[in-house]
Amino acid sequence: MARIAVIGGSGYAGRHIVAEAVSRGHTVLSIARRIPSERHEGALYVEGSLTDVPDLLAQLEGVDVVVSAVAARGEMEGLVRPNVAALVSLLPDDVRVGVIGGAGGSLVTEDGQRVVDLPSFTEDYKAEALEAIGILEDLKAGPESRDWFYVHPAGGFGVWNPGERTGSYRTGGDVIVTDADGESFISGADLAVAVVDEIEHPQHPRKRFTVGY
């Protein structure tokens, strides 16, 4: 079993990843600025912030995998990319890093344009999407000794559209996953299934991948 730390463990993606990892018997550390009132038995909850990298490093000592599930929105806009980069640069080489990005960085088709560049992409989310893409660029430019994976959820992923756990999903490489009707969706619980599957059985070393139904 792995020792997994989830930064942003009380957020929408983070709390589902914590729950899924605990259910499979992993040792899970959930780090968030506030400890949530609803907690999963078996996980350890601590207060911490991505903006305090020295403190985070002390909390992360001994973990095998660190997953960042912090969105670059609100008061965190502009702060996620530089702090993820700083953290990754200081972690031991044998720690694998996972990042939950957004749908905006996915491609519409192979070698096609990005979702964020479509005219239909909501302007209010562009800054968040571009910062998330920047994190991916930093990971790609980093040393080969650092293993990482980066997940693009489907377009309809979010707390407003939670769905249920089915235990199934599809991956699409660089291309956003859509169904036969062109809809793009993944529940919070099934995104977590995909993330923990990747941790248990790595299929995307130093790569990004998209997830949906």
Using alpha carbons, select from 200, 201, 206, 183 the residue that is nearest to residue 24: 200
pLDDT, tens only, 187-196: 999 999 999 9
pLDDT at position 11 is 96
- Find out whether 29 and 7 touch, Cβ atoms under 8 Å: no
pLDDT at position 12 is 97
Q: Once rounded to an integer, what is the mean pLDDT over residues 154-164?
A: 94
pLDDT at position 156 is 94
Q: How confident is the model at residue 158 (pLDDT cuts 50, 70, 90)?
A: very high
Average pLDDT, the chain: 97
pLDDT at position 73 is 95
- Find out whether 115 and 166 touch, Cβ atoms under 8 Å: no
pLDDT, tens only, 86-106: 999 999 999 999 999 999 999
Residues 6+ apart with CB under 8 A from 118: 108
Query: How far is residue 11's CA from residue 37's CA, in Å, rounded to a whole number?
Result: 12
Query: How far is residue 197's CA from residue 68's CA, in Å, rounded to a whole number?
Result: 16
Q: How confident is the model at residue 164 (pLDDT cuts 50, 70, 90)?
A: very high
Q: Once rounded to an integer, what is the mean pLDDT over residues 151-179?
A: 96
Burial of 11 (0-12, 13-18, 19+ CB in 10 A): buried
pLDDT at position 114 is 98
Using alpha carbons, select from 167, 131, 132, 169 the residue that is nearest to residue 150: 132
Q: Which domains does the chain have, with CATH numbers?
A: 3-212 (3.40.50.720)
